[in-house]
Homo-oligomer: A and B are copies of this chain.
Amino acid sequence: MAGVVGTAREEVAVLDANSSFYRALSEGDLAAMEDLWAEAAPVACVHPGWGALRGRDAVMRSWRDIMRAGAPRVSCTAASAHVLGDVAFVVCGERLSGGPRLVATNVFHLEGGRWRMCHHQAGMVAREADEPPPDALA
């Protein structure tokens, strides 16, 4: 890479991988989800309100269970990609159809020329970023 911060082309490729994640989820496409998640990198996942899941088996089992319960229709909003060599993280909003507003961190690792997901955390948004901060929360 030329510097610490990735090029626009790399950012587009990361955002494409990020879109693939939301497409696989919304379409209940478990095979696409399995294919997206990294195999060389260690993986972890934090679903909204859950504790942390660690390891590919636990993470993929959770996606299977979520899809079996009925794939949620999730659209991704305001995604920004932050590329650091062969690792990138995306910060984005999530809109559930008729549901709450969420915010997510998605971490990707470049494996065999493809950006593959190695971590996802999503959580509820209770306030806008420009409101004063709540007390005693970090």
Contacts and interface: CB of A to CB of B under 8 A. Distances in A.
A55 to B, nearest CB: 10
B25 A138 contact: yes
B96 A137 contact: yes
Interface in A46-63: 46-54, 58, 62
A128 B44 CA distance: 15
A40 B42 CA distance: 25
Given A47-B134, A49-B123, A105-B107, 7 more contacts: A4-B40, A25-B138, A44-B80, A46-B105, A51-B125, A69-B135, A72-B136
Contact of A91 (B49, B94, B103, B119): B119
A113 interface: no
A99 B41 CA distance: 34
Interface of A: 4-5, 25, 40-42, 44, 46-54, 58, 62, 65-66, 69-70, 72, 74, 78, 80, 82, 84-87, 89, 91-94, 96, 99, 103, 105, 107, 109, 111, 118-119, 121-129, 132-138
Contact of A51 (B96, B103, B119, B138): B103
Contact of A84 (B4, B109, B124): B109
B87 A85 contact: yes
Contacts of A5: 40-42
